[in-house]
Structure 1
Amino acid sequence: MKVRIFDTTLRDGEQSPGVALSPENKLNIAKKLDELGVDAIETGFPVISEGEQKAIKMITQANLSAELCGLARTNQQDIDAVVDCGLKYVHTFIATSDIHLQYKLHLSQDQVLEKAIESVEYAKSRGLQVEFSAEDATRTDRDFLKKIFTAVTKAGADRIDIPDTVGYSTPQYIAEITKDAIEATKLPISMHCHNDFGLAVANAISGIQAGAQCAHVTINGIGERAGNASLEELVMALQCLKFDQSWETNIKTELLYEISKYVSKLSGMPVQPNKAIIGENAFGHESGIHTHGVLSNPLTYEPISPEIVGRNRWFQVGKHAGAHGISAMLEEYGIQPDKDQLKQILTKVKLIGETGKHVTDVELVSIANEVMGDSKLKRLVQLTGFSVSTGIGNMPYAFIKLNIDGNEHTATDYGVGPVDASLNAIQKITDTISEIRIKDYNLASISGGSSALCEVTVKLEDAMQNTVSSKSIGEDIVITSVQAVIDGMNRIMLKKLVKQKRHNN
């Protein structure tokens, strides 16, 4: 069975505290969603502002393949705003639970019923496809919920949506009211589940198993409070887990990680490392037992292949590391220690790990060079010029000159501080030359006093999703930060070079 994916990143997702997308960014995300293969995009809430209307009009004029929808309360002004934006599809809602009726709307059930009917009839008179939502459906009196769904169906609604507005339902109960809605309306049913108790995806799946045909979701699960059902989790669960029947979507799953990063960047909402499917650690391994198993057969400790969702697996070394994982990581740099050397490297790694620290890729390679007596590892990136200027009343700026594989590159950029300016300047060069991005930056002080040492750890990623972690220690935060990035660049470019050589051979 085909499940319809209704994406509300641009509406419910943007309602996340602290998120505000410009019209241009909303258009760019809409294009990415269309490329991903979503069936419908909730473009926004037209009546709330002129900027919102501008964004929606830009999206409606972009010739996208997905159906485009706008949100509206049950009044003519909201519905007219949807029409004025060029949309042909409205998602109209009114709260139906007793707590909303008493404390928010100050209306009776009969008054709410009347408003719902009138809005659906008016929207249909304006030529719109209508999806009706009973806000807070899972806390609504069950008989009244069936009554209002029946009434809006008679008024001409095309679809019914069941919102679990505060994530209050269980999978068992949401399945029951989904069956109620199907019986009362015979219309396509959508699930709109929030994640306040961590059950959004489970509830959406339960509704689908009960006969719903559509799920409202957001990229990375962003949304108000604890967020919405996560698109990537729902889609992969439907595709990969065992159910009584098979489910399909139109989503191009290999694009999931790419759009996750894109939305995270534009929204300013980082993805937690341990998030399913698209979290940084979702395909990362440190434990020696797990690493050995994955190297023998990835399915031992991975439920799906990372490539399916546009990812690569990666290994971290630390106190839980094993010889197989370390050997595999060094192999990526063309380093092949013998059995005794590998044992010595593992011992040194574990000693560092016992102090509570992770061993970066650069440190691992350095340890291997020390044990193997080989310090001739090629440096493809050399820092040949560097200056930074800062002061009261002046925005900090930095000048960087890099020699990358024999070619000189320079850049100047500004930042909120000297470190930010320096990393921005480096990023300017790497964006155009080697497509290396600085993914993570951490600063720690490791000694006290006026001459305190700082420890900078960075994580870099290239366009092929090769990742490298690097650490540098020094007295000057700016120089130490730059050195950590340069060391990481050398390792990630070496890793890429080794892969290219193997591919050519």
Structure 2
Amino acid sequence: MKLKVYDTTLRDGEQTPGISLTPTEKLAIALRLDELGVDIIEAGSAITSKGEREAIQDIAHENLNAEIASFARILKEDVDYCLDCDVSMVNLVVPTSPIHMEYKLKKSPGEVLNQAVNVTEYAKSHGLKILLSAEDSTRSDMNFLKEVFKQTISAGACRICPCDTVSMLTPEKSLNFYKELSSLGVPVDVHCHNDFGLSTANTLAGIRGGASEFHVTVNGIGERAGNASLEEVVVSLNQLYDNYSTNINLNQLYSASKMVSRLTGAYLEPNKAIVGENAFSHESGIHSDGMLKNSHTYEPFNPELVGNHRRFVLGKHVGSKGLQNRLEQLGIYTTNKELSKIFDLVKNLADKGKIVTDADIQAISDYVMDIAEDTKVDLQEVTIVSSNRVTPTASVKLGLENQMILEAGIGVGPVDAAINAVNKGVKEFADVELEEYHVDAITGGADALIDVIVKLRLGNNVISARSTQPDIINASVEAYIIGVNRLLEIKKKQDE
């Protein structure tokens, strides 16, 4: 059975406290959702503001494959704003629980029903497709809920959505709840929130109960504990169920997740299912050894399915097989005796709470194997000019084998300027890309030590490097130089 995906990242997701997207950001996310294969994009709530209407209209005018919808209350004014935005569908939301009708609307059930029918007829007469959503339906009287749906269907609603607004369902209740509402003559949507951590499970149960469309947000963002997660639901359907499918391009899920996290500023937990940084990371010696022999020993599916990749993390739980695998990826080949010594030193370092980076491994390996590092790039000097009125500028003096290079660069900040200057200096030897940059203050106070970790790429080789100093600029440049030298050394060995 082919299911439809209704994405509400730009409406329900944006209601996450602290998230406020510009029209440009909303359009960028909408374009990515369309590439992802989402069937319907709820672009926002047209009544909210002028900027919101601008964003919804921009998205509607892109002629995307996805259908574009706007949220609306059961007010003709809301519908008029939706019409101004040129959307093809309206998500007309009707509060149906006693607590919502009495305290929020201050209306009787009969008044709410009449208003819902009148506004549905109004939207239908103006050419809009209508998804009739019952807000807080899982705390509503079932007979009244059915009556609302029956009369609004007669008035023109083409789909209905009983919303689990405050997460009152369990998977068992969800199955029966959506099954009972799947015989009213129109397709049913399932919309679940995550207050008890059950939104994905309840959504899957709702689908089993007869829902043919499900509402989700990228990364599960949304107010309070969030909404059902797009990536969790679609991958669960793909991997755990044989009779359901969607139009989602699974291999774009990881990149879409990262984009939404970046534009919204919503932190993505490392252990987030499917798209978290730890979802396919392995540290335990037993796990790493099993993974090296057969990846399915400790992974339910290959990370490439969702556009992610596998990582072996070196820490206190690392095993000798995992360490040896990482050493060989770095171009370091050891005897059994050398591997044993490196293993002990890595464990000792990790036991002290230190993150064991590739730079640490290289230093330990050089010590154990008595190999002097062939430093191709040596930082002699770095100078920064930066103020509120001057574009941040950096000049660097680099020692490159037997020559001295002076270069300058500008950037959005002093760190960016310094790294750009270094990149210009080493361009002759390597076109290095900065993939990730992370900074932490190790201690508190104004004199805190700054710990900088960078991840660099040269061709197919990716390494991380680290530096800890009181000055963020020096730490950043030193980490970058360490990484560049390591990449050049790897490239040299590969070319031999």
**Superposition TM-score, scaled by structure 2 size:** 0.91
Measure, in 2, the Cα distance between the counterparts of 1:494 and 1:73: 62
Q: 1:32 to 1:477 in 2, by over 3 A?
A: closer
1:203 Cα offset (Å):
0.7
In structure 1, give the amino acid aligned to 2:292: L
1:374 Cα offset (Å):
1.3
Q: 1:126 to 1:453 in 2, by over 3 A?
A: closer
Q: Does 1:318 align with 2:311?
A: no
Where do 1:2-21 residues align within 5 Å? 2-21=2-21
**Structure 1 gap segments, 5+ residues each:** 416-420
Q: Could you say which residue in structure 2 is the equivalent of 1:472?
A: 467
Q: Could you say which residue in structure 2 is the equivalent of 1:222?
A: 221
1:351 Cα offset (Å):
0.7
Deviates more, 1:452-461 or 1:133-142: 452-461
Where do 1:44-59 residues align within 5 Å? 44-59=44-59
Q: Does 1:376 align with 2:369?
A: no
Q: Does 1:294 align with 2:291?
A: yes
Q: Does 1:488 align with 2:488?
A: no
Deviates more, 1:124-133 or 1:57-66: 57-66
1:186 Cα offset (Å):
2.1
Q: Could you say which residue in structure 2 is the equivalent of 1:387?
A: 383
Measure, in 2, the Cα distance between the counterparts of 1:465 and 1:12: 39
Measure, in 1, the Cα distance between the counterparts of 2:326 and 2:382: 32
Q: Per-residue CA shift, 1:68-108, capped at 9, x if unaligned?
A: 11111111111111111111111110111111112111111
Q: Per-residue CA shift, 1:145-183, capped at 9, x if unaligned?
A: 122112211212100112111222211112222112112
Query: The residue matched to 2:440 in structure 1 has which SS?
Result: strand
Q: Could you say which residue in structure 1 is the equivalent of 2:193?
A: 194
Where do 1:398-477 residues align within 5 Å? 398-401=393-396, 410-415=408-413, 421-423=414-416, 425-426=418-419, 433-445=431-443, 454-460=449-455, 462=457, 468-477=463-472
1:111 Cα offset (Å):
1.1
Q: Could you say which residue in structure 2 is the equivalent of 1:176?
A: 176
Root-mean-square deviation (CA, aligned residues, Å) is 2.8
Residue from 264, 268, 273 that aligns with 1:267: 264
In structure 2, give the amino acid aligned to 1:387: T
Residue from 305, 308, 325 that aligns with 1:328: 325
Measure, in 2, the Cα distance between the counterparts of 1:182 and 1:394: 63
Query: The residue matched to 2:181 in structure 1 has which SS?
Result: helix
In structure 2, give the amino acid aligned to 1:16: T
Q: 1:354 to 1:13 in 2, by over 3 A?
A: same
Measure, in 1, the Cα distance between the counterparts of 2:203 and 2:459: 33
Q: 1:453 to 1:9 in 2, by over 3 A?
A: closer
Query: The residue matched to 1:458 in structure 2 has which SS?
Result: strand
Q: Is the 8 A contact 1:159 1:187 kept in 2?
A: yes
Deviates more, 1:485-494 or 1:292-301: 485-494
Q: Could you say which residue in structure 2 is the equivalent of 1:162?
A: 162
Q: 1:133 to 1:408 in 2, by over 3 A?
A: farther
1:61 Cα offset (Å):
1.4
Q: Could you say which residue in structure 2 is the equivalent of 1:353?
A: 350
Query: The residue matched to 1:11 in structure 2 has which SS?
Result: coil
Measure, in 1, the Cα distance between the counterparts of 2:264 and 2:76: 31
Q: Could you say which residue in structure 2 is the equivalent of 1:115?
A: 115
Measure, in 2, the Cα distance between the counterparts of 1:332 and 1:404: 28
Q: Per-residue CA shift, 1:189-224, capped at 9, x if unaligned?
A: 111111111111111100001110111111111111
Q: 1:310 to 1:498 in 2, by over 3 A?
A: farther
**Structure 2 gap segments, 5+ residues each:** none
Deviates more, 1:228-237 or 1:477-486: 477-486
Q: Does 1:209 align with 2:205?
A: no
1:121 Cα offset (Å):
1.0
Q: Could you say which residue in structure 1 is the equivalent of 2:392?
A: 397
Deviates more, 1:458-467 or 1:259-268: 458-467
1:427 Cα offset (Å):
6.2
Measure, in 2, the Cα distance between the counterparts of 1:442 and 1:272: 17
Q: Does 1:103 align with 2:114?
A: no
Q: Is the 8 A contact 1:218 1:231 kept in 2?
A: yes
Measure, in 2, the Cα distance between the counterparts of 1:402 and 1:247: 60
1:44 Cα offset (Å):
0.9
Measure, in 2, the Cα distance between the counterparts of 1:404 and 1:60: 55
**Superposition TM-score, scaled by structure 1 size:** 0.89
Q: Could you say which residue in structure 2 is the equivalent of 1:418?
A: none
1:475 Cα offset (Å):
4.2
Measure, in 2, the Cα distance between the counterparts of 1:281 and 1:404: 38
Q: 1:319 to 1:150 in 2, by over 3 A?
A: same
